[in-house]
Structure 1
Amino acid sequence: MNDAEFDPSGEQAVSIELAGVMPVEYVAFHSQNHVAYLEYAHLELGAEAAPVVVEDVFAFLLEVWPDALREANLQAFAWAQLREHVERYRAGQVLRIALVDTVKYAALRRGSRRQLELIESRSGVYEAIAELPDRHYDVVVLTFLLGLETAQVAQRMGISPGTVRSHLHTARRMLAKKIGIDLTPGEEKDL
């Protein structure tokens, strides 16, 4: 499968046979988050690696499920596991640049931190995005590359909508400073 053919909506969730032996809460969590995790992993790693890494994440979550349920914020815990698995996979692989078509930003093409670092841009936007702190980076990727609304980003990352808005505001200021542009007061609210 290549990047142009990647369609996470067609990916298999928990199989019917396995769903009967897994905790009901886990099956529901898997069903609600599987596609979202695939989309993020696809942007970060490409179409071939994304399903492998995401299945590793869910296998890990199943293994620690009773402990995961005791976490203060299950979504945040699971998101952290996804990020950790993506980073671990990236560290162990020599990844080719995987091109990712996005709906809103087809002109940007490709969207992982490593890929953004490799793309040369006169304005420095790609490099600046790649240098954002992890949570700010994730909020920018989920908002602008995947086109998610604030509430959706908050749900995926296990943070509040206010925190998403704060991260977007801070990221925008950091990016403006990094690439040397001045934001007018009205522009800061565009995010």
Structure 2
Amino acid sequence: MPQLPKAFWAFHDQYYKPYRRYAHVHLGDEHAAGELVHQVFMHLALNWAHLMEEANPAASAWALLKESVAQELDLQGRQHAMTETAVLQHVTRSVLESSRQEFAVIESALGLYPAIARLPERQFDVMVLRYVLGFSTDTTARIMGVTDATVRSHCHLARRKIARDLDIPLGADCDDEE
């Protein structure tokens, strides 16, 4: 393979970890996520010149990642593992921060993550990237290849739907960078 341009390696450095975390949430297996993301980046490397001709290379790469995750789940004949993986990550973090609220965290997470899983695709992606994986609005926008305003809009709509589904009051808006 010819030497890859510095732009590829910059893209790799910027997106590899977020892509891997996203794949892990869906596949529920860190090793499988790493293998899948490696294959995605191999494809991107082999098709780098074509990707750079795209109107929005980040959005095209994001679409490839999502398609690869979906294909892997289809091959395994199962649904994504977001609910289980996200609940485990959230509970672990929360229990370490405050063991007194352990059972409340588990109870709320078990209702919240299935509600997130029922969202339309773009809202789902925004909520996973923003709140499950903890990325900022601008990082989420870069990963998905969309604008900050698009992320905020999807976030606002998703939060309204989740609040309605769980019959809870709508909290702070998505502009809050926690």
1:90 maps to which of 60, 66, 73: 73
1:173 maps to which of 160, 173, 177: 160
Check 1:64–1:189 CA distance in 2 against 1; reply closer, same or farther (3 A cut).
Answer: same
CA contact (8 A) 2:127 2:155 kept: yes
Instruction: Give the alignment's TM-score, normalised by structure 1.
Output: 0.72
Check 1:149–1:66 CA distance in 2 against 1; reply closer, same or farther (3 A cut).
Answer: same
Tell me the SS of whatever aligns to 2:89: coil
Identity in percent: 38
2:151 maps to which of 155, 164, 173: 164
* Structure (1 or 2) with the greater helix fraction: 2
- What letter is aligned with 2:68? H
Question: Deviations along 1:26-53, whole A, 9 cap, x unmatched?
Answer: 2221122111111111111121211111
Aligned to 1:65: 48
Aligned to 1:128: 115
Q: Which runs of 5+ in 2 are unaligned?
A: 96-106
CA distance in 1, matches of 2:85, 2:134: 17
User: What displacement does 1:181 show?
Assistant: 3.1
Q: Quote the RMSD (CA, aligned, Å).
A: 3.0
CA contact (8 A) 1:37 1:54 kept: yes
Tell me the SS of whatever aligns to 1:166: helix
CA distance in 2, matches of 1:60, 1:91: 20
Tell me the SS of whatever aligns to 1:102: helix
Is residue 150 of structure 1 aligned with residue 102 of structure 2? no
CA distance in 1, matches of 2:174, 2:91: 16
CA distance in 2, matches of 1:54, 1:147: 19
CA distance in 2, matches of 1:178, 1:47: 31
CA contact (8 A) 2:137 2:148 kept: yes
Alignment: residue pair count: 160
User: What displacement does 1:78 show?
Assistant: 0.5
